[in-house]
Every structure is written in C-alpha cells, then in structure tokens.
Structure 1
Amino acid sequence: MQDNSQPFYQLTPDTVMDAVESRGYLCDGRILALNSYENRVYQVGIEDETPLIAKFYRPNRWSDEQILEEHQLCFELDEQELPVVAPLRDEQGESLFQFQEYRFSLYPRRGGRAPELGDPDHLYRLGQTLGRFHLVGQAQPFQSRPALDIQTYGLNSIELIGRDFIPSSLREAYLSLTSDLIASIERCYAAAGDVRRIRVHGDCHGGNILWRDDTPNFVDFDDARMAPAVQDLWMLLTGDDRQQQQLQLAEVVEGYNEFADFDPRELHLVEALRTLRMLHYSAWLARRWEDPAFPRNFTWFNTERYWGEHILQLREQLSAMQEPPLQLL
C-alpha cells in the first residue's frame, strides 16, 4: 500500500489527464472535479467520445486486493445484467491502473437523478434490484475486505474520538454514553441472532443511486463490505415517523422477496447499524482532518457545538434502540 503522501492532495488536472491518456485515450482538455472527498473523482472529456469518470484512490485506505474485490463484485453484478456502473477493463482484463504515485480506475459516465424514496413504486423497484444484488453478494464472501461490525465501526471510532478529538469538557459524557451505546448495540445483535453476512454495497443512500429510465443505477461501491443484508435496506427508509417507515419497509421488502428471502430478524439491527454509521462518520472526518480538503469543506466539524450536537444525536439513538424494531406488515 502507498504512503498517505502529500502528492495525493496535490493531484493536478494535468496529472489526471496524463493518467487517463496513459490508458490509450485522448483527452480534450475538459475536466470537472466531482463531489468526492474520500477519493478524488473527475469527469474527463475524451476527443470525439463520451467523457469518462476517473477515480483516484486514497492511499492507505484499501489494498490493491481489496479494490479488486470491489471491482469483481461489480463485474459479477454486471454479468447478471444488473444496473451497476462497473469499472472499465482493458484488453488484458485489468481495471486498476497505476500512474506515477497514483492508483486509479476508469468508469463510463452515467446520468440520472436521485430516486424518490417517498414513492412506493421507487421503493418497490429498489427492493427488487437489491434482492437480485444480494443473490450475487451471497454467492461467495470477500476474502480481503473487512466486515462492517461493532469493532471496526464502533469501538475503533470511539477510541479515536475519545483520545484525540472530543473536547475535555465533554469527554466524560461522551465515553459514558458510548459505553451504553455499545452495550445496546450488542443487545440488538444478540436479539437478531446468527444472521448471515454477505457482500453488500455498504453505502446505499439516495446519492449513490441514479434513477434513469425507471431503473435505479447503483454507483460507488467503495464502501462494499461483509454485512447483514439489511445494511443496504435501512438507508432507504426516510423520515422520523415510525408508521411511515413501516410502509416504506413493506414496499422495499415486498420487492426484495421476489428474488431473495429477507430475514426479518435483521430488523433488530436497523437502529444499531444507524448508530454505528454515526460513530464511524465522525471518526472518518477525524481520520481525514489532515487532508486540506476536509477543514475547507467541513468547517463545522471538531467544534464545541458539533460535539455537543453529536452527543445529543447519540442519546436519541440510545433511546431508539430501546424501542421495538420495525415489523413487516
């Protein structure tokens, strides 16, 4: 794996175009930086052809083997004619490339809009598509990519924040609260029982779904991990009203069950997974704080106000995990 070195933060348009041209394309000089912070992603104009998307991977996040496992999942989904935006392969079948210090891959540009998560038809179609996805995802496990679990998303995040980031005035409250949160998360997992972990998208929110021609096209599998299937379903549920979420869940699962069998025990994990995501998100910002792009674009992070609000949100999650889980109607 590469060093987390300054050149990644200083990736220039000329270097981006040189990298793309090293794969045999002729750039037309147009380049647009897209909204991505973990990696660097650009739309690059190609002479007399449709623009390409070039994704440059952050050093020290994924090994080559882990990136290629993500690509392999996309290829398997694509071979089943599922709507994913998979990386392009060269004549040798390679999809991960090297240029100078940088690892990158190329993707076709795919347009679309975010799905309407309040629309029952959209939810039903999303459920159908995820059911088909998960049939592929459960065919074999990741060998190199980690699992989404309490240790990596919860305990490791709490340890980092408690040690280096939480203000001293809030540290005791944070550590006491997160201890209670971990205990509640563990109870949720115990209630769910021995649920199956499969290869999932991992970050299945509306921003990673492009709705086009009545079809949801899934992009950005960078967070793909081994996790329960419900990890790809719960982020489709919107709003704070329980009855509304019950109706949304019913549409998603009805579509899902046309192709795969959803295990209702996994509903015990919805609020636990939401809590783990919140803990992980704050730790992600903390881990990236030395990247100049993060203080520039997340100016509200690591302020006394931010941490106070974060603790309040976590307290709400502690209460949410005490409530009965959502049920299938």
Structure 2
Amino acid sequence: MLGMRERPEGVGDDLLAEELAAGWGIRARSVDYLPVGAGGYHWSVEGAWFVTVAEWSAGLEQALRTAAELASELDFVVAPVPTGDGAVVRRLADRYALSVYPLLAGTAGSFGPHRDEDRDAVLDLLIRLHATRAASAPRADLVLPGRDQLHAGPRGPWAGGPYAEPARRLLAEHAGSVAERLARFDALAGALPPPRDWVVTHGEPHPGNILWTAEGLRLIDWDTVQVAPAERDIWMLTGAESRYERVTGRRVSEAAVEFYRLWWTLADIAGYTADLRGPHTEGPDAAAALRHLAANLEAR
C-alpha cells in the first residue's frame, strides 16, 4: 500500500539490467526509475519497455497469466511480454517479481471518479471484458484483505517506525466507525449475486489504469483480475448502471455496488495500517500512507 516514490531495497539498476538480459534478451543501457503508482515499482527502459517490480506471490503470477490469456481476445488488455521461456514474470532477489510491458504512448488519469465524457468509453471496455471467459482467472473469495489488522484493535504503543503511533491514534479515534463499517460489510456480503452470475473483472478500472492512446483506450495493471460480481468494476463508474443493464441485460445490484465501495475503503485502511504498524522509516512514502489512512478513516 505504500507509495512508490522510494526505490525498492536491494534492486539496483545493474541487477535490473542483468535480469532483463537473462529473461527477455533486453540490453538495458538506459534505465530510468519512475516514482509513480502504488503496489509496484516502475522503470522506463530504453524508451521502449515499461518494467515493473512487485512483491512476488503465486496470486500475482496467476493474475498476469490471466492478462496474457485475455490479451489474445481483447485488444485493450496490456499484458506482460513473455520471457524467452514463456513465463509472465521472473523472480528477482527472492522477494520480488519482475515483469515487462511495452511502453505505450498515451495519457493516463489519476485515481478518482471518471469524467462524465469518458464514462461510456470505459464502460464499453468493461462490458467486453465481462463477456469473456478466462480459464486461468483466479476466483474471488470475498475475504477482506488485512481484516486482522482492523480486528487487532488500536492497542499500543506501536513501534514500527516514526508514523506508527500517529497511525495508532487515528485508529483509536475512529474505532467505532471502523466497527460499524465492518458490520455493514458483513451484512452486504449476504446480498451479493450468486457465483453462477460472476464474470471476469479487472478490479481497479479507475482513471489511473486507463491509458488513452492514438489507437484507442487500453486497460493496464491486471494484478487484481478476478472472477467476481460485475459490480466489483461497475461501482467505479457511478451513473453507468442503467446503461450497463440495458446493454448486457444483467441487473446491477445496489447492495453489491455498496459492498465493493466499502471494500475499497476498508482494504485501504487495513493496508495502510499494516504498513505503518510494521517496520518503516521516515520518508515520503510512509508520510503519504499516514495521510491516506486519515483520509479513508474520515471518509463516509
């Protein structure tokens, strides 16, 4: 959940260049770190490749395999470039996964609501995605990630780093609100569409993951792809529900839209809490995490 303005520990440009050569045959003479995004670290390589380093997990590898499968059918899916032996990621320094993408010319937005004039175009991508099938797609389990962080309570002191105690105080101040949201989350879970109606979803189709190119829209960042209720995507396009229903013939559940809106906020609270409760140092990423934690706790 921490931002990615600071570079990952133990991953220097020389190591990155070695791995790109070994895995993809890329001669990385020009390697430029891009302090953008969250959830992964990014570089521009040779002005032709967008390189990502993220925490390795079997789930990440499965998600990127799904993106590669979807890209064979959907032209807007930006999937990883396979290694020489056909893998979608390459293990890096034991802890990380390295993936490579074509560096596309285009403009992306930032997290937040879609502009009214963009909504239909984005919705059209999601309608096409929801009509596909991907055998490799992971299936949602509806378990809130990091929920144990919220149940642990704001007991202190927390000594993970300079922002640990401020984070604990924020959670203590908002403990009642968090408990209410968790209770509402659990109640809404029982009203979700049945699994037989689930579809392939992106999970985070906000403006920051939409790339506007001369060839059309592209949807990036597929590490969250899952088979899940369609509302997992639709809640980010407020005002698009009636058109989605008209085009697909599928009813949009208001309860499911609320569930996923609440999921996003609670998952962010849990993620920032875990980051700030654990070991960290003073720096722009941790400071931003504290600000985002406060904003999510205060949001209603």
**Aligned letter for 1:88?**
V
Residue 288 of structure 1: how far off its partner (Å): 3.0
**Aligned letter for 1:285?**
Y
Q: Would the alpha carbon gap of residues 285 and 9 (structure 1) be closer, same or farther in structure 2, given more than 3 Å must change? A: farther
2:206 paired residue number: 205
Alignment of 1:92-111 (within 5 A): 92-101=85-94, 102-111=96-105
Cα distance in 2, alignment partners of residues 288 and 226 from structure 1: 28
Cα distance in 2, alignment partners of residues 210 and 27 from structure 1: 25
TM-score, normalisation: structure 1: 0.71
Residue 277 of structure 1: how far off its partner (Å): 0.9
Residue 141 of structure 1: how far off its partner (Å): 6.6
Residue by residue over 1:61-85, the C-alpha shift from the partner in whole angstroms, topping out at 9 and shown as x without a partner, is x22xx23321222122211133111
Given that 1:82 and 1:129 are in contact with CA atoms closer than 8 Å, whether structure 2 keeps it comes out as: no
Q: Would the alpha carbon gap of residues 86 and 12 (structure 1) be closer, same or farther in structure 2, given more than 3 Å must change? A: same
Alignment of 1:37-48 (within 5 A): 37-45=38-46
**Aligned letter for 2:231?**
V
TM-score, normalisation: structure 2: 0.77
* Greater RCO, 1 or 2 (C-alpha within 8 Å, sep 6+): 2
Q: Would the alpha carbon gap of residues 301 and 53 (structure 1) be closer, same or farther in structure 2, given more than 3 Å must change? A: closer
Can you give the 5+ residue segments of structure 1 that lack an aligned partner in the other structure?
1-6, 238-245, 317-329
Alignment of 1:14-163 (within 5 A): 14-22=14-22, 23-45=24-46, 51-59=48-56, 62-63=57-58, 66-101=59-94, 102-114=96-108, 117-120=114-117, 122-136=118-132, 138-140=133-135, 142=137, 145=138, 147=140, 149=142, 151-153=143-145, 155-160=147-152, 162=154
**Aligned letter for 2:52?**
K
Given that 1:197 and 1:226 are in contact with CA atoms closer than 8 Å, whether structure 2 keeps it comes out as: yes
Cα distance in 1, alignment partners of residues 282 and 141 from structure 2: 24
Residue aligned with 1:167, SS:
helix
Residue aligned with 2:224, SS:
coil
Query: Are 1:285 and 2:266 counterparts?
Result: no
Can you give the 5+ residue segments of structure 2 that lack an aligned partner in the other structure?
1-6, 159-163
1:167 paired residue number: 168
**Aligned letter for 1:93?**
G
Query: Are 1:271 and 2:263 counterparts?
Result: no
Given that 2:130 and 2:200 are in contact with CA atoms closer than 8 Å, whether structure 1 keeps it comes out as: yes
Cα distance in 2, alignment partners of residues 36 and 226 from structure 1: 24
Given that 2:202 and 2:224 are in contact with CA atoms closer than 8 Å, whether structure 1 keeps it comes out as: yes
Q: Would the alpha carbon gap of residues 276 and 34 (structure 1) be closer, same or farther in structure 2, given more than 3 Å must change? A: same
Q: CA RMSD in A?
A: 3.2
Cα distance in 2, alignment partners of residues 222 and 268 from structure 1: 25
1:185 paired residue number: 185
Q: Would the alpha carbon gap of residues 100 and 188 (structure 1) be closer, same or farther in structure 2, given more than 3 Å must change? A: closer
Given that 1:42 and 1:54 are in contact with CA atoms closer than 8 Å, whether structure 2 keeps it comes out as: yes
Q: Would the alpha carbon gap of residues 140 and 156 (structure 1) be closer, same or farther in structure 2, given more than 3 Å must change? A: farther
Query: Are 1:231 and 2:217 counterparts?
Result: no
Q: Would the alpha carbon gap of residues 293 and 229 (structure 1) be closer, same or farther in structure 2, given more than 3 Å must change? A: farther
Identity over aligned pairs, percent: 18
Cα distance in 2, alignment partners of residues 161 and 277 from structure 1: 20
Residue by residue over 1:176-223, the C-alpha shift from the partner in whole angstroms, topping out at 9 and shown as x without a partner, is 322322222233333445363343211111001101237220111122
